[in-house]
Amino acid sequence: MRVQPLPPAQATDLDTLTPLCAMVNKVYAQAEAGLWQDGAARTTVDELSALTRAGELVVATLDSEVVACLRLQHLTEDVSSFSLLATAPEHQGKGIATALIDHAEAQAEAAGRHHMRLELLVPQTWTHPAKEALAHWYTRTGYHLTHTTRFDEDYPHLAPLLATPCDYRIYHKRLL
């Protein structure tokens, strides 16, 4: 397995981005079932292209096939963030997501960032089993819940797509 940023030259490579987009949307449709209205997509080819051009899209490949990804952003001089973590269903449980996060944390450290941040979307009025499992997994890997914020306040343009009121939990991990 190889983990690396998708080269900016591939920002127009539809043979890579189209199946990657389909995989991400499939994974999120399953992992966030009940949170979004039917037909809401997590990402688009255009968004993945922009992330690739910006050098923010990190991918894991097996035998030259992209099987997982995440977005790595440097938010401030002290904080980086990862999001858009997705692994193809047939490759889940193999440590690929962990390898992506390890790569993101190493890149953040190399850039002098002291903290890694992630956001976890959760329903306000009920417990989502997949989200609770993710929360436990992130905690086991050293992330700590710092606060919870209403999703509609920070992402008002996305709120109409929700099927249920949601919050997002902010987790941080100290790196350096």
For 12-32, the pLDDT digits (tens) are 999 999 999 999 999 999 999
Check pLDDT > 90 for residue 176.
no
The rounded distance, in Å, linking the Cα atoms of 93 and 96 is: 8
Tell me the pLDDT tens digit for each residue of 127-161: 999 999 999 999 999 999 999 999 999 999 999 99
Domains of the chain: 2-174 (3.40.630.30)
The rounded distance, in Å, linking the Cα atoms of 113 and 79 is: 5
Amino acid at 147: H
What is the DSSP code string of 72-87?
EEE-SSSEEEEEEEEE
Check pLDDT > 90 for residue 91.
yes
Beta strands in 65-174 (DSSP E): 65-74, 79-87, 115-123, 144-150, 166-174
The rounded distance, in Å, linking the Cα atoms of 168 and 118 is: 10
Q: How many CB atoms lie within 10 A of CB 34?
A: 11
The rounded distance, in Å, linking the Cα atoms of 136 and 13 is: 36
Tell me what pLDDT residue 34 has: 98
The rounded distance, in Å, linking the Cα atoms of 69 and 97 is: 8
The rounded distance, in Å, linking the Cα atoms of 78 and 74 is: 8
Tokens of 2: 């190889």
CA of 151: how far to CAs of 1, 106, 158, 169, 171, in Å? Answer: 35, 29, 9, 9, 15
The rounded distance, in Å, linking the Cα atoms of 118 and 169 is: 8
